[in-house]
A and B are shown apart, each in its own frame.
Chain A
Amino acid sequence: MHLRDSESDAEFRAELRAWLADAVTTLPAPPDATDWPGRRQFDTVWQNMLFEAGYAGVNWPAEYGGRGATPTQHLIFLEEAAAAKAPDVGVGFVGQMHAGPTLIAEGTPEQQAHHLRGILTGDHVWCQGFSEPGAGSDLASLRTRAIRDGDDYVVTGQKIWTSHAMVADYCELLVRTDPDAAKHKGITWLILPMDTPGIDVRPLMTVQGSAEFAELFLDEVRIPVANRVGEENDGWRVTNVTLSFERGTGFVGELLDTTNIMGELVELAQRTPRGAGTVWDDDGLRRDIGAIAAELDALWAFTKRNVSQGAKGGMAMGSGSAFKMSYATVVHKLGDIALRVLDRSSLAFDDIGGESTGAQIHHKLKGFAVGIGGGTSQIQQNIIAERVLGLPRER
């Protein structure tokens, strides 16, 4: 066991660091969180720069246009990008983390040829149409109906919580193709071009005050059968290929972001006068922050452990769940401390007193996104209890 970089990893890190240092200085100012076309444009520019420099799809196989780097180097990439304060994956999330890997694993050569490059260059933005009003944690109960009509599926139904749907070109869509089969057995995975007639996207305002996700109304939307990934009624298996990308390393960027936010909170606490000194002089608060930092360090070590296992063939069952639920808890705890540090400056999302106080409140609310999106913490607990600890199912 070791933590230091191997020679080739150290080389990779050094080259990347040098490139990042230059690259971030050429970026335009980031757009406002509510300016969706601007956000898409900004994220695409960055992704394009990564592509040109050979850093797009670091962990994708080289034969599909990726860098074919080791999981460890992928981790180094994410670490260095965060350290350089480079933009995160942004609207490229679903394409790079879910849709792309699914197409690599399950797509036809035509589908791969048509889609993968666009994801890597940043020109194709994807969204994920899985959840429905009636199908959240119990995703397999989804009801959006697809009826075969010649070379098309005709799809009618409703999706919800579809992140970035407002600016997406494609949607990875789960539909029901066999309503009579057992719920896991009648689902199909389709590629939906978002400019197809019959789609109505209605943005939903989140607790953070911006429209990160949307409702998707589908009314007799025609999707070519050629857009099916995997066999008809085999979509649940295809979906699980996707979900396995969603847990574990998928949160590395977020974890590093949280670590940055914590660093900013410490600085803020040291600058904020309270009583005879500053907020940082408060023993209780300082220790609570110390404990949070320890937890973030531990989650970083956990990530390295998972990546190490991944490099040897696979993460241990339950590690992704344990990571995700623990991370959600830490974000909540950090947010609680942020309110104690901010005190009355927490009354607005606006920055107060020349400090970036708003970012702390935004981040506090993010705890919910982590603990709800992609399988709630309770669902992660169920997974650990039943599949790792072997406790009997409730029903």
Chain B
Amino acid sequence: MDLDPSEDQRELQQMVRRFSLDRFPADTVRDFAAPGHFDRSAWRELAELGTFGIALPESAGGVGLRWIDTVLVHEALGAALTPGPLVAATLAAGLVPGVLEGEVVPAIVERPTHGAVVVEHLSVADVLLVIETDGIRQLDPSSLDATLLAEPTDPATPVSLVRELPLGELIANADTAKHLRLLGSLLASAQLVGNAEGSTALAVNYAQEREQFGRPIGSFQGLKHLLADCYARTEVSRSAVWAAGVLVDEPEAGDLHRAVAGARVLAGRAAAENGKTCVQVHGGMGFTWEVDAHLFLKRAWILETAFGSIDEAAEQVAESLSASLA
């Protein structure tokens, strides 16, 4: 047993985070969703780092590491607020030619049981993958009856409304679909952990600099305890996400489905709560468009719904409890 990342793994995280902050600085993230703002060359550079193929074998053009490494990379991407269909690209890289290299930009969505469907990044995607119970189907985004929504909740995540999803071509079987959904949930959770850490760092920084009553606001215990809670939530949820990541590689060492569901409950809450705290700690500044606090919070809300909600995840954990007693 070893649940502590190696030097190499920490360096991989730092490398991705530095690259991301450099190529996707906050100013571009802020209106990334606006038409024409998706930077294809930066996306290609991100792909060239190996970002979307961390766990793909080298023979398939990947980096040949493991899923836990992919989890660590997504944590770094989440902390840097990196925009774009990151989870979609990581899931599609082994299925759709060109995604791994960043030439083909994918979007991914689960087929809803009824009604219209909201799809992230569809407006910039070359291909749409649909996760269904019987497998994964591929669609051409340009063939869809879709409307780009004018005001996405997260200004860095463009969303389109698709009134009806046609069937499309089956490109993977039901088992793959199930597994990809699980991985998608986990990678979104990994980004949520990074997000929780990032918003905490932003808030701590402000608390150290901003002065009121003649001293830094971070010296007030009311804020200190809020921020200590943020730290604790980040570390606890990070532990859950890492354990789930290791279980993808070693499914015999535990209950992978329960671990992924549990990770979502913890990471979703951590990011949402820490993001709220970040806005509150910034006072009036926190309520402005200009300060990054809302970007963390809004991204957290988006990720929280990716591949299953917190409620659904809590239900899954509960079911695993009654199954283990049966």
Contact = CB atoms under 8 A, between A and B. Distances in A.
A6 B253 CA distance: 11
B1 A304 contact: yes
A287 B318 CA distance: 6
Tell me whether chain A's interface is mostly helix, strand or loop, or mixed.
helix
Contact of B219 (A263, A325, A391): A391
Given A280-B322, A302-B236, A381-B224, A3 B243 contact: yes
Most chain B Cβ neighbours within 10 Å, of A380, A381, A386: A381
B164 interface: no
A382 B224 contact: yes
A185 to B, nearest CB: 26
A386 B231 CA distance: 12
Contacts of A394: 219-221, 224
A2 B219 contact: no
Contacts of A300: 243
B5 interface: yes
A290 B265 contact: yes
Tell me whether chain B's interface is mostly helix, strand or loop, or mixed.
helix
Nearest to A395: B219
Most chain B Cβ neighbours within 10 Å, of A1, A6, A72: A1
B235 interface: yes
Contacts of B79: none
Contacts of B204: 389-391
Nearest to A287: B314
A1 B227 contact: no
B231 A389 contact: yes
Nearest to A4: B253
Nearest to B225: A381
A288 B314 contact: yes
A139 interface: no
B266 A298 contact: yes
A385 interface: yes
B252 interface: yes
A53 interface: no
Contacts of B242: 1, 301, 305
Interface residues of B, number: 61
B151 interface: no
Given A287-B314, A297-B259, A301-B243, A4 B252 contact: yes
Task: Sort chain A's interface into a size bin.
Answer: 35 or more
Contacts of B261: 290, 294
Nearest to B224: A385
B26 interface: no
B3 A3 contact: yes
Interface in B196-244: 200, 204, 207-208, 215-216, 218-221, 223-225, 227-229, 231-233, 235-237, 239-240, 242-243
A300 to B, nearest CB: 8
B318 A382 contact: no
Contacts of B200: 389
Interface in A105-145: none
Contact of A293 (B227, B232, B247, B317): B317
A5 interface: yes
A263 B324 CA distance: 9
Given A305-B4, A381-B225, A4 B250 contact: yes
A344 interface: no
A323 to B, nearest CB: 8
Most chain B Cβ neighbours within 10 Å, of A289, A301, A392: A301
B318 A326 contact: no
Contacts of B262: 293-295, 297-298
B236 A1 contact: no
Contact of A1 (B9, B228, B258): B9
Interface of A: 1-6, 9, 72, 75, 262-263, 266-267, 270, 280, 283, 286-291, 293-295, 297-302, 304-305, 307-309, 311-312, 318-319, 321-323, 325-326, 378, 380-382, 384-386, 388-394
18 contacts: A1-B3, A3-B243, A3-B254, A4-B253, A75-B1, A280-B322, A290-B261, A291-B317, A293-B321, A294-B317, A304-B1, A304-B239, A312-B4, A322-B235, A381-B225, A385-B224, A389-B227, A389-B231
List the 5 closest A-B pairs by CB distance, nearest first: A290-B318, A294-B262, A385-B224, A298-B240, A301-B243
